[in-house]
Structure 1
Amino acid sequence: MDIIQIILLALIQGITEFLPISSSAHLILPKEVLGWPDQGLAFDVAVHFGSLIAVLAYFRKDVGKMIVAWFSQFGAQGANQDSHLAWMIIVATIPAGLAGLLFNDYIEANFRSGFVIAITTLVFGVALWFADRKQKLSKNIYQIGIITALIIGIAQAMALIPGTSRSGITITAALFLGFTRVDAARFSFFMSIPIIVLGALFKTYELIETGSIAWIDLAIGTVLSGISAYLCIHYFLAFIERIGMLPFVIYRMILGGLLLIMFW
């Protein structure tokens, strides 16, 4: 890839990873539409690592409290709401982890196409719109129980299909279950941490057997992805309560419609 492709793909990853519009779809599209070469496994790992650094940096206090509380629960202090939340993130990660191990290769071989992206972009965009229109969105993040976490986790597993959007489908599920927009988004972001870690480890294992690596390209991708993802999280949470999900629904409808025309 040339430097322009590296910059654009890193920014696409960082901006779209945490918005409900599918980062995987946007990373596939340049190849499908512009004829760019595939960014490759190493670059994919790098930009996802940048996103991971961004979410850990932004929620460092929350993550720190959950880690301390999770270990402290086994001592005299006992469990609290932060250790409970940590357990729910673990529970919500299980469905996607299992689905990735069982179906990742099949999905990679059969669902990474412009037509599939068009359909999933439209279908799950409509689902997000319906979920956001619920009249009662009042539950907070500490009210997530095991069943709720599993439901959101199963939704996250569906995001293996390109165009679905991991953040989009998990936020949609949480909204349908009555959680506020901000807490639905926060739980989605927290859930991304173990998923990105697992995905990066899996891809790194595959990467070990590949040839030479362009470290400068990967460094540029990591930094740009991390900065753009951090800013995206900040502004998304700042405006989500006021603007709702409608702008993202409209974007998905326009994008999905254009893709459907292109790949029908």
Structure 2
Amino acid sequence: MSWLESLILGLVQGLTEFLPVSSSAHLRLTAAFAGWKDPGAAFTAITQIGTESAVLIYFRKDIANILSAWFRSLFDKKMRQNQDARTGWLVIVGSIPIGVLGVTLKDQIEGPFRDLRLTATMLIVMGLVLGIADRPAARDETGGRHRAPKQRKTLQDLGIKDGLIYGACQAMALVPGVSRSGATISGGLFLGYRREAAARYSFLLAIPAVLASGAFELKDAAEAGRVSWGPTLFATVIAFVSGYAVITWFMKFISSKSFMPFVWYRIVLGVAITALVSGGFLSPLAAESAG
């Protein structure tokens, strides 16, 4: 991997990780259109450590409170009723599905799941799902002409059942094109949560899964010598800087705007990829066969 590739792919990772458009799909597509080799699941997992570091800094106060309350709840039963402690336990519960499926489906994630036809399909399908989930949320949070806004759930209402559903939605993002944030935010909206609450828990829930996946891939890559370390670490730093800027903007954006721009973007991109592959202009395994 060249330094130019690492710069561009790091930017793509940072700019798309927190938006409901699928960063793994965009990394895959960038390589395909540029004629580069697919950066692969290992590159994606390692650079996600950079974007997840942006989450750790952006939500540092929330995370510090959650960790403090969670550790105290291990020894004090009364603390288990504390909201921050409960959030800590629910993040653990919600991380179970992606942990189990990530290990079980590792070969598929690094192989068949990276087919551009599947990526395009997931972009379209999950775009429609996000659009359907967002419509009642927009109506409830803004109200109508003749009625007041309807109260939707906040993280105070989060329980084990909802935590597991969030976790199942996050596990769907193992397929490029789904989007971790898109799937979990859609799940949260369907469950009746406010947009900001759905996004906040989505980002917190991703921390254990992304850091564990990155550490796992770091270990494997170091043993197998499959990664160009200089460019990959450079891309990780670029992903951190651009990712922090995006998460700051995104949390402000969703406080007053709908997800529909992302829905239309996903659908148009998915249809375009389908047309290019069907017309023979783009191989479904284009980047994998590039030198």
Counterpart Cα distance in 2 of 1:50 and 1:84: 27
Q: 1:14, 1:229 within 8 Å by CA — same for their partners in 2?
A: yes
Q: Shift of residue 38 of structure 1?
A: 2.8
Give the 3 Å change call, closer, same or farther, for CA 226–125 of structure 1 in structure 2: same
Report how far residue 39 of structure 1 moved: 2.5
> Conserved in 1, the CA contact under 8 Å of 2:221 and 2:227?
no
Of 245, 250, 254, which residue of structure 2 is paired with 1:231?
A: 245
Match of 1:263 in 2: 277
Q: Structure 1 residues 212 and 132, CA, compared in 2 at 3 Å: closer, same or farther?
A: closer
CA distance in 1, matches of 2:263, 2:104: 30
| 1:157 match: secondary structure | helix
Contact persistence 2:121–2:270 (CA under 8 A): yes
List gaps (5 residues or longer) in structure 2.
Answer: 142-151, 279-291
Q: Cα distance, 1:220 vs. partner?
A: 1.8
Partner residue in 2 for 1:149: 163
Q: Which moved more, 1:234-243 or 1:28-37?
A: 28-37
Q: CA deviation at 1:256?
A: 0.7
User: SS of 1:18's equivalent?
Assistant: coil
Deviation of 1:107 after TM superposition, in Å, equals 3.4
The aligned counterpart of 2:265 is 251
SS of 2:174's partner is coil
Counterpart residue number, 1:183 = 197
Task: Give the SS at the match of 1:158.
Answer: helix
Q: Which has the larger radius of gyration?
A: 2
Equivalent residues of 2:46, 2:217 under 8 A apart? no
For normalisation by structure 1, the TM-score amounts to 0.94
User: What is the CA distance between 1:205 and its match in structure 2?
Assistant: 2.5
Count of residue pairs brought into register by the alignment:
264
Closer/same/farther in 2, CA of residues 65 and 46 from structure 1, 3 Å limit: same
Percent identical residues: 41
Equivalent residue number for residue 39 of structure 2: 39
C-alpha RMSD of the superposition: 1.7
SS in 1 for 2:192: coil
Report the TM-score, using the length of structure 2 for normalisation. Answer: 0.86
**What's the counterpart of residue 120 of structure 1?**
122
Other structure's SS at 1:14 match: helix
Runs of 4 or more consecutive aligned structure 1 residues displaced over 6 Å after TM superposition? none
Distance of aligned partners of 1:125 and 1:154 in 2 relative to their CA distance in 1, 3 Å threshold: same
Listed as ranges, the gaps of 5+ residues in structure 1 are none
Per the TM alignment, residue 199 of structure 1 is displaced from its structure 2 partner at its CA by: 0.8
Whole-Å Cα distance in 1 between the matches of residues 2 and 240 of structure 2? 20
